[in-house]
A and B are shown apart, each in its own frame.
Chain A
Amino acid sequence: MDNKNKQRVVITGMGIVCPLGHDIATMWDNILNCRSGMSQTTIFDATTYPTKFCSEVKNFDFAKYTKNPELHQNGNRHSKFAIGAVAGACKQAKIEVESENPNDGVNRRRMGIYLGAGEGPVDSDIFFNAIIKGWDESTSTMDWNKWADFAYSKMQAQMELEQEPNMPAAHISIYTGARGPVRSCLTACAASTQAVGEAFKVLQSGQADVMIAGGAHSMIHPLGIMGFNRLTALSTRNDSPETASRPFTASRDGFVIGEGAAIVILETLESAKKRGVEILAEVIGYGSSSDAFRVTDMHEEARGAVTAIEAALKDANVSYKDIDYISTHGTSTSENDSIETLAIKTVFKEEAKNTPVSSIKSMMGHLIGAAGAAELISCVLAIRDNVLPPTINYNDPDPELDLDYVPNKPRKADINIAMKESFGFGGQNNVVIIKRYEN
């Protein structure tokens, strides 16, 4: 497609439900005041787990965002978060929700959804107990009849359905009436950056006028935390949850898992102008790549990350010299923070040390599938307010990692172009670049 025919794409709404708040203003205030969302795990009893804390969404009531709570009450945690985030984003973008005859200038057949969404948390009580009923330890065999009898008596159809990863998108389509292109992806920790990037491409190529894009995920359940603990990916700093996420420091020992939903309304410039809505930023570039290296490790030379960053810069038609801020993946794991720093140095060369980079995961935790979109929202706010969100808990720099990580407090800076990078298990790399909107 030649450049002339490409639609310009802008952001006209943002909404969030995350450990740092249930709306954008609260979340941003917490970030600029360097507050941590981490504490003892309460969603389930994790007291004997290697990691006993996390970053939870607290006191969230989805019902206040809907006239039809019965349509969403079976939804899993992340679907409910998604409703809250979509409500905020649509309100800002002046898109009507739950309306039979919307009068907002958006043709529902030209409005789509692209979510990076996870599976619903497993109902672990049923899952574990069905196995215990069926398993015969003496013979190491499963009696499937016993398993099935228990499962049939306990499992509920609707709750089972809600474990499927396409269900958050289903709730959003019924909530907003969106009938355009609807997709859901799950590329581990890079999913919602990919969702925003692909939604941008859907709009750029004229397949829709408006896309509801972002992520929703919660892996804070007994199997999820077990899985990450077995991978030794999580911090075990149980005596100090608020300081556990410490990206780019020498003492980092893993990520802190979070949960939530983050949504942006992407819209063609033409549609936004026609509707007369406020433009928050412009999306100008997207790059996606795969390490194709190992399922367990990132490529030692950051091959995939570099490819994705370079692809996004090329797509945006800007140079690394033009980037004013990088919102890193910055998980606080030993591997990610080293490889990511290497990737930035490789692409940004002489500018690497002059380009501020930070990780709000130090406060928010890692929202897995929803992380990228939440962090992209912080990029929009950084541009709006000309302020760099900090990396907190940066008290013992890793001598090998020598970029400007915006340590411990926010900082004023002129920010016109910001880059969001996300890297997922299995070598999934996605990068989105946004710019201050200029006519």
Chain B
Amino acid sequence: MTVAITGLGAATCLGLSYKDLWAGLCGGKCGISRITAFDPESFECQIAGQVPAFSIRDYVPKSIRKTTKLMSRDIEIAIIAANEAFKDSGLKTKAFDEQNITINPKRSAIILGANSISCDLLEIAPSIAKGAVDGKFDIRKWGTDSIETVTPLWLLKYLPNMLACHIGIIHDLQGPSNTITCAEAAGHLAICEAFHIILRGDADVALAGGGESKVNPIVHMRQALLKRATKEHNNNPEQACRPFDADAKGGVFGEAAGCVVLENLEIAKNRNAKIYASVAGIGQSCSINANYEFLEADGKGIQYAIESAIESAKIKPEQIDLIVPHGTGIYAEDVAEAAGIHKALGSIASQIPVFPTKSMVSNTGSAAGAVDVIAACCAINEGVIPAAKNCDNVNKNCKLNIVKEQIKKRINYALCTGYTYGGQTAAIILKNDNG
């Protein structure tokens, strides 16, 4: 069986559609800007990729609109991406027309990457403030006076599986449902798992991808403390994230959601669906590093994932026409990822066009892999590789062919790589199935 990608959806700092994402990437547009969600003045890194304003009520069917009160930001942006992906696929779910549903709910899966959702501090602050004695938190006072002032369903807003649950309710997806919590590799790994669920026959259709907002004081500060975030470019956000550039100073974090619809290629063709690409193979491994927050220096975890993906796709490295790497813009990680790519692909590695996205869309954690797979699908579908941004002076320790100017050519196979702090790695090979 071949598994095809037939629908795309995204909400990123470049807009509320995958079309905005792709147009932005092609136009060299940077969506990174000064943080507006909170006053970032005292933060080391004051910039992020932020999803533009929206009203979630526009994306949730009237009959269940009251559930929007239970939606944290991660859930909201994931719902936007999921809606677009199903619309784009041409499949009719309960959300669009209850009378003419074209999916079998019990055979429809949802596998999303998500992280522990950051608590909305402003929501809980009044309750916590009531638990203070002389300006210090007092747990007994909190227990006595404050707990009961927290909204009863508070916890349900912050369980990572709630992205998949809300989307499952909106579109009536009753098949296998999972939430992959592998941080920056979660989006890739969710797509890998969904691919296998279709292959093994446990579902006909799967929505896969990821969503996360890192535009939250706690997680934003966490990346700065871990020295993963740049502090050099607060006045120059568009230049801040520089994957594989000699002047890379760190990552920029943000928020996004990306979803793809996966289904059996033959069934998709029979319904005349648009086929963006098929999944030719996947690979998974991990990086082992005593410095858990960074990729290991020799990139072995990336190497192994790519090698497994090539083996499962039954192709040769020279058949790959495009690499969409994780490319965080953290100098040491870029070098390590490049090392892994070189070891896995051999001498051809320095010639394959490489297009990193994070200089424009920022590092969106659990969504990052899905955003990159969507970019690769668009590239395959249009025969276009956009020019990379902020990589004017390619890091000579990387020796990669970072795309300087837009390339127009048929792409037969594209490789997407992902890794995360904590070690998990993934590689996905997409195939052009048109013509």
Give the B-binding residues of A (Cβ under 8 A). 1, 44-50, 71, 109, 112-113, 117-119, 124-125, 127-129, 131-135, 137, 140, 142, 144-145, 147-149, 151-152, 155-157, 160-161, 163-167, 169-170, 173-174, 177-188, 194, 198, 201-202, 204-205, 207, 222-223, 226-232, 288-296, 303-304, 307, 311, 424-428
* In the assembled complex, B154 has its CB within 8 A of some CB on chain A: yes
**B285 contact from A140, A170, A179, A425, Cβ within 8 A:** A179
| Minimum CB–CB distance for B259 against chain A, Å | 16
When chains A and B are docked, how far (Å) is the Cα of A294 from the Cα of B67? Answer: 9
* In the assembled complex, B435 has its CB within 8 A of some CB on chain A: no
Do A155 and B200 touch across chains, with their CB atoms under 8 A apart? no
Per-residue contact bits, chain B 110-149, to A (CB 8 Å; 1 contact, 0 not): 1000111001011011101101100111011111100110
**Chain B residues with CB under 8 A of A128:** 128, 131, 137, 142
* In the assembled complex, B23 has its CB within 8 A of some CB on chain A: no
| Minimum CB–CB distance for A272 against chain B, Å | 22
Supply 12 A–B pairs (Cβ within 8 Å), ascending by A. A44-B139, A45-B139, A137-B129, A145-B42, A166-B186, A179-B288, A205-B199, A227-B155, A296-B70, A307-B106, A311-B202, A425-B156
When chains A and B are docked, how far (Å) is the Cα of A208 from the Cα of B162? Answer: 30
Do A109 and B285 touch across chains, with their CB atoms under 8 A apart? yes
When chains A and B are docked, how far (Å) is the Cα of A47 from the Cα of B142? Answer: 11
* In the assembled complex, B53 has its CB within 8 A of some CB on chain A: no
Do B182 and A184 touch across chains, with their CB atoms under 8 A apart? yes
User: Quick one: which of B158, B160, B189 has the most chain A CB within 10 A?
Assistant: B160
**Chain B residues with CB under 8 A of A230:** 147-148, 150-155
**Chain A residues with CB under 8 A of B226:** 157, 160-161
6 smallest CB-CB distances across A and B, nearest first, come from A48-B143, A227-B155, A426-B165, A290-B177, A119-B116, A148-B42
Do B200 and A173 touch across chains, with their CB atoms under 8 A apart? no
Known contacts A145-B41, A290-B168, A290-B175; A132 and B132 CB within 8 A of each other = yes
* In the assembled complex, B401 has its CB within 8 A of some CB on chain A: no
| Minimum CB–CB distance for B232 against chain A, Å | 18
| Minimum CB–CB distance for B104 against chain A, Å | 12
When chains A and B are docked, how far (Å) is the Cα of A295 from the Cα of B64? Answer: 11
| Minimum CB–CB distance for B169 against chain A, Å | 5
**Chain A residues with CB under 8 A of B151:** 230
| Minimum CB–CB distance for B224 against chain A, Å | 9
Nearest A residue to B181 via CB reads A165
Known contacts A157-B293, A183-B180; A289 and B175 CB within 8 A of each other = yes
Do A292 and B168 touch across chains, with their CB atoms under 8 A apart? yes
| Minimum CB–CB distance for B74 against chain A, Å | 13
**Chain B residues with CB under 8 A of A164:** 115-116, 183, 421-422
**Chain A residues with CB under 8 A of B42:** 144-145, 148-149, 152
**Chain B residues with CB under 8 A of A204:** 200
Do A183 and B161 touch across chains, with their CB atoms under 8 A apart? no
**A148 contact from B105, B106, B221, B222, Cβ within 8 A:** B221
**Chain A residues with CB under 8 A of B237:** none
User: Quick one: which of B114, B153, B176 has the most chain A CB within 10 A?
Assistant: B176
When chains A and B are docked, how far (Å) is the Cα of A146 from the Cα of B148? Answer: 27
**Chain A residues with CB under 8 A of B424:** 166, 169-170, 182-184
Known contacts A183-B424, A228-B155; A294 and B169 CB within 8 A of each other = yes
Do B182 and A426 touch across chains, with their CB atoms under 8 A apart? no
| Minimum CB–CB distance for A373 against chain B, Å | 15
**A163 contact from B116, B196, B293, Cβ within 8 A:** B116
When chains A and B are docked, how far (Å) is the Cα of A133 from the Cα of B121? Answer: 12
